[in-house]
A and B are shown apart, each in its own frame.
Chain A
Amino acid sequence: AQSVTQLGSHVSVSEGALVLLRCNYSSSVPPYLFWYVQYPNQGLQLLLKYTSAATLVKGINGFEAEFKKSETSFHLTKPSAHMSDAAEYFCAVSDPHSGGGADGLTFGKGTHLIIQP
């Protein structure tokens, strides 16, 4: 069974500071990994994904994440926070080899990012 742990239910950073949101996964096989963002009262938007190609993945809005197999981590970073980055961020994992031709995502519990002016 897969699982995702996001350290810190709330993270607060100052505008212009580095954003670091932590995600660790547990999976019996190398997984596919995703980061999604959810703005208030909206659906989930894909920020970036890792699907066994380059370990450093660049996404939208200046975010990037690095897959580290030895640490079973997929932390999300952004060099300089902007007020518009305030939202809920979810890390998710899927098993590339699950049967049936389809599978769903297993989500972490989310990290609420607060940007201080």
Chain B
Amino acid sequence: GAVVSQHPSWVICKSGTSVKIECRSLDFQATTMFWYRQFPKQSLMLMATSNEGSKATYEQGVEKDKFLINHASLTLSTLTVTSAHPEDSSFYICSAITSSSYNEQFFGPGTRLTVL
């Protein structure tokens, strides 16, 4: 299957700083990427949908000015958590689909963010 990578796999930062997480489709072009967030012992919650070359669509309750998403190429989307706070500590997961993919969504391994 197609491979999606994320970098970094984990990050620890101080409160008030910004953190950038990268999501890459390694062997296919991803017209659409999704960003999910998962708190401990909870299920994945969709944060936003990112389409290459256009603005991301955010889910209700997700602050677009705090979670900046850029999808500048067909293989890379980035999520920047600005002015991070301890409550932003979570497991962030991206996924990607291609225009020809009907059946499966390819997930990255996730990024563990801890804000001190």
Note whether A and B form a binding pair: no
Which residues of A approach B to under 8 Å, CB–CB? none
Interface residues of B (CB under 8 A from A): none
